[in-house]
Structure 1
Amino acid sequence: MAKTVTQNQLMGEIGETAAKLRFLRMGFQFDARSRLETGIDGIAEVMIEGKPTAQMIAVQVKTTKEGRYAGETDTGFHYLLRSEDLAYWRPSNLPVIIVLYREADETFYWKEIPRGDEVPERRLTFSKRDDVLDRDAGDRIAALTVSKAGFGYYVPPLGGGEEALVNILPVKFPAEVFVSTSPYDTRQANAMLLQEDEPARFDWIIKGGAFWSFHDPRKSVCRTIVEVDQVEAIDTAHLAFHDDVNERNSFSYLLRQTLAHQVRGELSWSKDRSLFYFTARAEYTTRVFKYQASTKQTEAEVVNPVESKRVANAIAFVRHHAFVPRFVSFYDEWHLVVEPSYFFTTNGFTPHTHPDAILAGKKRLDKSASLRGQVIMWHRFLTSLEPRNDDLFAVAATDPRISFGPPPTVDLPTRVPDDVWGSNKKDDVDDDDEFDLLRRA
């Protein structure tokens, strides 16, 4: 019996060839895989002005000769992924995109495939305006290779596409650190301070019997937990840039303790979440922080009770702006890495018992403008707590403090498009959806 090639095989080859040609015209390299492939037809490599970059994207091509896609209208359509394909793509170490090619009208559309441990959406929604595979999509596809993890990440610029903001704040600390010996461990010292008549303060650390603080313990309630005659001031740089990584880690913890002292009354610390969050002023009450943004005076609702539209007179939760702090040293400088986040309570004070679902829902809505604004807001907030030279009544003006410079900017040769910066998930999540997620948690 004569050998035959099926129509499906022909269409598959036509689609892969057409997709390869499309990528080449967009300025990408495209290498087709062998016939042993089981869900990835080729690898596209980003090139900049003809120079390969070793930044790869896995591509799966789905081809149809004619006909309409599911739910197709003049503006978009849906496409249902196969479960076995998703199971194959999810652990990929490369970003994976699916390309839909229809031979009848020579149309190409593309979408990133959700990956990771979260339950992915099988149904993808395509926009005929935004998801066309052409030269205009090149930057968006290339942006999938940009890492969004690590000590700092780029917050894409607004408008021009030239300047990016980095979520790190340079730290300036006092020139001296006061050190002494202490007969107590941290738990014992905390208990002693809480028993004193003077206000307790915790901007210090005790490690192996050694006490460190930027303030002189002889002039505060901390005199009760140190050997007063052993107190001396040493150069901060000796500890901040010590050769021993354990010493630098201890210094990082001292910075965090000092920051907590400086923001007391304004921010609260969540030990479970390891983050600072804006403190509510009263139950179920909005709190607003006004500050100078990049070009104008603005304000943000940093504590916000969220009502449900489906349950009358019900507060689903209270959302607090928050950030995860990390103090890190780069060469001869220290920086505060600001990772914007949110904290959730039931009434402004009681931590919510199931915050993960609403946190995930909220972060899906955060685009580059929101992240950029939050980094700027946190810088403005931290600097707003610094005493002014003209404030004659600022008692804390004589207290040694750490201060923060503005987040640095980086000139990027190409813009990271806003719509591919965050997770490629549904954008139609609102507060009611978050409330439903809570009820199912």
Structure 2
Amino acid sequence: MSKTITANQLLGEIGEASVRLRFLNMGFQFDVRSRLEAGIDGIAEVMDKGRPLARMIAVQVKATASSRYTSEDESGFSYLLRPDDLVYWRGSNLPIIIILFRKSDETYFWKEVGVEKAEERRLLFDKASDVLDANAVDRLAALTVPKAGFGYYVPPLGGGEEALVNILPITLPKEMFVSSTPHSPKKAASILLDSDEHARFDWAIKDETFWSFSDPRETVCRKLVDLDQVEAIDTSVLAFHENHDEQNNFAFLLRKTFDHQVRSDLVWNKDRKLYYFRALAENTSRHFAYEASRKKASTEVVNLAENKADKSQIAFVRHHALVPRFERLYDQWYLVINPTYFFTTNGFIPHSYPAALLSGKKRLDNSASLRGQVIMWHRFLSQVDREGSNLFKAASSEPRLQFGEPPIISLATRVPEDVWGSQKKAAVESDEAQERLFG
């Protein structure tokens, strides 16, 4: 009896050869493994304009002649991985992708295989975004970089661009006021809240010493200090102290001063440690108009989301928000802006289940939207300086923080758009330290 090669064997060879050609056309190398392979058909190497980068991706090819995939429609389909493949892949030191090749329509779809959990067997493919072609180059390159540690560098492929850094340089008041006080922070707050005058909290108390950029003798804070001990000193004495605890003390004062300046427009949420735009009325949107990079812009900073089942009802209200962090770099203080969102039911009552709403919105954000949000926050915080408006309702004569333009740096290469969705662990240690120092 003569030997034969089955149709499935031929289809497998055609699939691997087709995928290899597709990778070569994309500018990657692709080396097919020997017949002894047990679940990885080849190794793709990332290249940048013909230069090998020694960054590898393990590839498993699944070929079909013309069969439809599970639950396939115009937008996508699902694919169930084999349990024994997952067991094998779990020991890999390379990122693993699966490529589905269909001969009848010459389609190539790819997906990264997550092997952390055995139950993650079903992959969902999007026919628009999961195509193996030139548009997938940066996403594939991003897979080859370890995501552990304090941060990671994603190898951008292609031309350069300008990047906006999400920090605003702060111009500090030239002088600040210090005084002895017999009160703890908690007792001082109680005194102000019991007073007939409007309370203000743009101050800090540490080790029986009161600090503020405003003269306490001219405000309700005169009730907190020893009036004969009030002294004006050069801000730089405390702002640029070499002791780390003193830097945290000063950062806390900056946050309290910031809170006082934005109190009419932003709300502080203690649980999330963020500020969000205040709603002007129940179930009412709010806009902020400003000068963007090249033209006038307007952002709906309080946005109403309709109930899909009943459009006459409001499902939730989304507020633009920021997580602030004050950092000192050499002889300059900065406000680090981390844009985010806060959700309420009607503009005032916090939403009971905000996590899913936040993750859904974050997935839609890209580099352009994040850049726009940083610009918007700068325009908001600096509007009183730029236009002389009454953005902050405090008297214009009061000392306050001023915020400069976010720096722009030139990158030699472009940052892949897809990696903006990668969530990294927030740097919160300094914030918590600042909060702990003052109880």
TM-score normalised by length of structure 2: 0.77
Separation in structure 1 between the aligned mates of residue 151 and residue 374 of structure 2, nearest angstrom = 14
The 3 A distance-change label for structure 1 pair 292 and 10 is same
1: CA distance between counterparts of 2:235 and 2:413? Answer: 40
Deviation at 1:280, TM superposition (A): 0.8
Query: Root-mean-square deviation (CA), in Å?
Result: 4.2
- Kept in 2, the 8 Å contact 1:241–1:332? The answer is yes
Query: 2:193 maps to what in 1?
Result: 194
Give me the whole-angstrom Cα distance separating, in 2, the residues matched to 1:19 and 1:318: 47
1:184 Cα deviation from its structure 2 partner: 1.5
Residue 16 of structure 1 and its aligned partner are, at CA, apart by 6.2
Give 1:28 shift. Answer: 4.2
Does the 8 Å CA contact 1:278/1:322 hold for their aligned counterparts?
Answer: yes
Change (3 A) 1:282 1:104: closer
Instruction: Give the stretch that moved more between structures: 63-72 or 289-298.
Output: 63-72
Aligned to 2:109: 109
- The answer to whether the 8 Å contact 1:168/1:407 transfers is yes
- d(CA) in 2 for partners of 1:185 and 1:90? 56
Verify the 8 A CA contact 1:307 1:313 in the aligned structure 2.
Answer: yes
Structure 1 residue 333 displacement after superposition: 2.3
Q: 1:220 and 1:149, CA in 2 relative to 1: closer, same or farther beyond 3 A?
A: farther
Query: In the superposition, relative to structure 1, how do residues 130 and 305 fare at CA in structure 2: closer, same or farther (>3 Å)?
Result: closer
Residue equivalent to 1:98: 98
Deviation of the 1:106 alpha carbon: 6.3
Q: Which amino acid aligns with 2:333?
A: W
Deviation at 1:294, TM superposition (A): 1.9
The one-letter amino acid paired with 1:267 is L
* d(CA) in 2 for partners of 1:352, 1:266: 20
For the pair 1:124 / 2:124, whether they are aligned, the reply is yes
Structure 1 distance, partners of 2:92, 2:203, is: 45
Counterpart code for 1:405: G
SS, match of residue 373 in structure 1: helix
Q: Distance in 2 between matches of 1:191 and 1:373?
A: 40
Q: Which residue of 2 aligns with 1:363?
A: 362
Equivalenced residues, count: 413
Aligned match of 2:318: 319
CA contact (8 A) 1:91 1:116 kept: no
Q: Secondary structure at the match of 2:421?
A: coil
Cα 1:121–1:317 shift into 2, 3 Å: farther
Relative distance call for 1:115 and 1:309 in structure 2 (3 A) is: farther
Measure, in 2, the Cα distance between the counterparts of 1:220 and 1:370. Answer: 41
Q: 1:30 to 1:58 in 2, by over 3 A?
A: same
5+ residue gaps, structure 1: 425-441
For residues 230 and 168 of structure 1, the distance between their equivalents in structure 2, rounded to whole angstroms, comes to 36
CA distance in 2, matches of 1:347, 1:60: 49
Identity of aligned residues (%): 56
- Find the counterpart in structure 2 of residue 168 from structure 1: 167
One-letter identity of the residue aligned with 1:191 = S
| CA positional deviation for 1:420 | 5.1
1:109 offset after TM fit, Å?
2.8
Alignment correspondent of 2:307: 308
The equivalent of 1:435 in structure 2 is: none
Answer yes or no: is the 8 Å Cα contact 2:138–2:418 preserved in 1: no
* Amino acid paired to 2:66: G
TM-aligned CA deviation for residue 324 of structure 1: 0.9
Q: CA deviation at 1:50?
A: 5.0
Query: CA–CA distance in 1 between the matches of 2:9 and 2:198?
Result: 78
Post-superposition CA distance 1:106-150 (Å, at most 9, x none): 654323456889x979332242x6544344532332245677997
Which amino acid in the other structure matches residue 67 of structure 2?
A: R
* Change beyond 3 A, Cα 1:416–1:187: same
Structure 2 alignment gaps of length 5 or more: 424-439
State the Cα distance separating 1:37 from its structure 2 match.
Answer: 8.7
Residue matched to 1:428: none
For the pair 1:278 / 2:277, whether they are aligned, the reply is yes
Return the alpha-carbon distance in structure 2 between the equivalents of residues 53 and 271 of structure 1: 46
Secondary structure of the structure 1 residue equivalent to 2:372: helix
Contact kept? 1:15, 1:61, Cα under 8 Å: no
Pair 361,137 (structure 1): closer, same or farther in 2 beyond 3 Å: closer
Question: Shift in Å at residue 24 of structure 1?
Answer: 5.5
Distance 1:144 1:249 in 2: 37
Cα distance in 2 for partners of 1:320, 1:90 equals 41
Distance, in Å, in 1 between the alignment partners of 2:183 and 2:395 is 27
Moved more, 266-275 or 251-260: 251-260
8 Å contact from structure 2 (residues 109, 125) kept in 1: no
Matches of 1:75 and 1:162 in 2, distance apart? 35
Structure 1 stretch displaced more, 403-412 or 73-82:
73-82
Shift of 1:301: 1.5
- The answer as to 2:209 corresponding to 1:210 is yes
Partner amino acid for 1:70?
A: Y
Rounded to whole Å, the distance in 2 between the matches of 1:183 and 1:246 is 22
Are residues 1:230 and 2:238 paired? no
Bigger shift: residues 412-421 or 322-331: 412-421
Query: How far is the alpha carbon of 1:18 from its aligned partner?
Result: 6.3
Deviates more, 1:91-100 or 1:6-15: 6-15
Please give the TM-score of this superposition, normalised by the length of structure 1: 0.77
Q: CA deviation at 1:254?
A: 1.3
Quote the Cα distance in structure 2 between the aligned partners of 1:51 and 1:382: 45
Structure 2 distance, partners of 1:115, 1:169, is 40
2:171–2:403 contact (8 Å) kept in structure 1:
yes
The answer as to whether partners of 1:364 and 1:422 remain within 8 angstroms in 2 is yes
**What is the letter of the counterpart of residue 208 of structure 2?**
G
> What is the distance in 2 between the residues matched to 1:92 and 1:243?
47
* Compared CA separation, residues 96 and 198, structure 1 to 2 (3 A): farther
TM-superposed CA distance for 1:261, in Å, is 0.6
Take 1:400 and 1:110, find their aligned partners in 2: how far apart are those partners? 57
- Equivalence map 1:41-440=2 (5 Å): 44=44, 46-49=46-49, 51=51, 56=55, 58-70=57-69, 77-82=76-81, 84=83, 96-102=96-102, 107-113=107-113, 122-127=122-127, 130-144=129-143, 162-311=161-310, 313-386=312-385, 396-419=395-418, 421-422=420-421
CA spacing shift, 1:45–1:152, aligned 2, 3 Å? closer
Query: What letter is aligned with 2:242?
Result: D
Pair 312,109 (structure 1): closer, same or farther in 2 beyond 3 Å: closer
Distance 1:148 1:185 in 2: 42
Distance 1:74 1:349, change over 3 A: closer
Give deviations 1:378-429, integer Å, cap 9, x for gaps.
11111124485698x98622211111122222323333344553269xxxxx
Counterpart amino acid of residue 350 in structure 2: P
- The answer on whether the counterparts of 1:40 and 1:58 sit within 8 Å (CA) in structure 2 is no
